[in-house]
Amino acid sequence: MLSQVLTVAQMRAAEQDLIAAGTSVEALMEKAGHGAGAYVHRISAGRSVAVLCGPGNNGGDGYVIARHLADRGVAVQVFAPLPPGTAAAAAARAAFGGTIHEGIPGDLPHGEVFVDCLFGSGLTRALPDDLHALLVRLAARHHRRVAVDLPSGVESDSGLPLNSALPTYDLTISLGAWKHAHFAMPAAAMMGALRLIDIGCGAVPGVPHVLARPYLRAPAADAHKYRRGLLAIVGGAMPGAALLAARAAAHAGAGYLRLIAGAEPDGIPADLVVVRADPGEALEDGRVAAVLIGPGLGRDEAARVRFASVVRCGLPTVVDADALMILHPAPGVGPGMIFTPHEGELAALERAYGLPGIGHKRERAVALAAASGAVIVAKGADSLIAGPDGRLLLAPRASSWLSVAGSGDVLAGIIASRLAVTRDPWTAAAEGLWLHGEAAARAGAAFSATGLADCVAPALGSLL
Ligand SMILES: NC(=O)C1=CN([C@@H]2O[C@H](COP(=O)(O)OP(=O)(O)OC[C@H]3O[C@@H](n4cnc5c(N)ncnc54)[C@H](O)[C@@H]3O)[C@@H](O)[C@H]2O)[C@@H](O)CC1
Ligand SMILES: [K+]
């Protein structure tokens, strides 16, 4: 349940459940503040800390953190532009007993760690100018910046900053449960490393979860290439993208790769079987476990004909890139399939399915999954997976070096390979998205899409 992602309302309800079970807000604040304080203590390594405390319970956490640090001999100063407005925050402030700068001071110290406890999940509107300026000035005067629960100024449920020019952080410590802003852009980009403090919240049914590291198995002792999974990749007008997807797929577990080529590819690797036939005929082979169509397909009439042939086969299929742009709702399109749209392709699919395309990205993906029957991998800097049954997985932030041409072809190849292995769209999407992020972590900096594809096998090896 520590992987669950809650809205503000769900977090408040979870807190109320804990209180109804016999704990108090003060006790929860102690637990949260000591957990966060231990991280800040480690980062400060004994050097000075400034804690900015707001009027609500996020500020209350700040007073607990300040006391935790002072008890351990750290030089800590509290900045409290507003008095506490809750009983728990007032009690935490009274228990601190150290230096508190009230109002908006003119002179501010330089120090090692700045801890932002101005506002958390209770933020309802943009920060007023004086508080915004104090936040920015204090952040700028410290080498390391820690946000408690959320960076102040960020809306928890949407991940939208309510002010421009907010500070960025090295670490964000979430309290009790993850919030949507921890995974949604643009807020997620401000937060640095993410950590979670457990305060004992129970499982909330039906909420999204963070995509977890999968555990994969090596092929069975008596495996053969077909049982491991035959993946057919349907190419099109531009063969390079399909070859790139094939290169990634080859390292993601499928036992056999077959390229049903459109245009004549150059430099075919020796381990890729190329078939020059109509996709409809080539997919009649009953041993094909999964199909990938889209990378390099083109969007012309020939592409539409090839896509229609694939749909008629009714095999588990990953639909990516150009195929998403020419897709129209039709019998057989969607159920058992995985769609892997980026933002532009998501909007095109919404138009195709007559969806309004409003709301958070997660809500749009869930609506598209429900309308189409497909598993939706809505990729981008904040990737997520939505199922037609309403399930939702939010991916942890991956390497920003993934913003390179061809990285989507690699993702499609990986997911299709996992679909051939697992025969289950949801599992394949989850395993594939994780492998893509893990391969990127292993590829280091400034990698090419080919370099990324070549890191998929070691990434998979780390999951066995
Ligand atoms: N939910 C839980 O189980 C726990 C919550 N805790 C903390 O409590 C926080 C939530 O506490 P609160 O609900 O008091 O929320 P906040 O501490 O975020 O502050 C809300 C207060 O600020 C006011 N406010 C909101 N936006 C403002 C703005 N732009 N300018 C000026 N004032 C503004 C609100 O009217 C309200 O009075 C969490 O983020 C977390 O840090 C922890 O103490 C541990 C337990
Ligand atoms: K905060």
Query: From the CA of 257, how far away is ligand 2's center (Å)?
Result: 50
Bridge-based pairing of strands 273-275 and 256-260 is parallel
* pLDDT classification of 63: cutoffs 50, 70, 90: very high
ipTM above 0.90, yes or no: yes
Give the contacts of 396 (CB within 8 A, at least 6 positions apart): 183, 194, 210, 211, 437
pLDDT above 90 for 226 = no
Q: State the pLDDT at residue 225.
A: 87
Q: CA-to-CA distance for 339 and 347, rounded, in angstroms? A: 13
Ligand 2 mean position, distance from CA 59 (Å): 8
Rounded to the nearest integer, the mean pLDDT of the chain is: 96
Give pLDDT tens digits for 333-379. Answer: 999 999 999 999 999 999 999 999 999 999 999 999 999 999 999 99
382 is in an annotated binding site: yes
Burial of 301 (0-12, 13-18, 19+ CB in 10 A): exposed
For the chain, percent of residues with pLDDT exceeding 70: 100
- All domains of the chain in start order, with CATH: 5-210 (3.40.50.10260), 225-461 (3.40.1190.20)
Residue bearing the CA closest to ligand 1, atom 33: 123
Minimal CA–CA distance to 193: which of 397, 356, 29, 358?
397
Q: Please give the number of the atom of ligand 1 that sits closest to the Cα of 25.
A: 45
What's the rounded Cα separation, in Å, for the pair 268 and 110? 60
Q: Supply the residue whose CA is at minimum distance from atom 40 of ligand 1.
A: 58
Pocket of ligand 1 (CB under 6 A): 11, 15, 28-29, 32, 54-61, 85-86, 119-128, 148-149, 175-176, 199
Average pLDDT, stretch 235-260? 95
Q: How far is the CA of 143 from the centre of ligand 1 (A)?
A: 26
pLDDT of residue 227: 83
Chain centre to alpha carbon of residue 167:
21
- Percent of residues in the chain assigned helix, strand, coil, to nearest 5: 40, 15, 40
Residue to substitute in 4, 118, 119, 198 for testing ligand 1 pocket (most ligand atoms within 8 angstroms of CB)? 119
pLDDT tops 90 at residue 194? yes
171 vs 3: CA distance, rounded Å: 18
Query: Partners of 175 in the beta sheet?
Result: 197
- What does the alpha-carbon distance between residue 155 and residue 150 come to, in Å, rounded to a whole number? 9
**How does pLDDT run across 29-55, given as a tens digit for each residue?**
999 999 999 999 999 998 999 999 999
Confidence category of residue 270, pLDDT binned at 50, 70, 90: confident
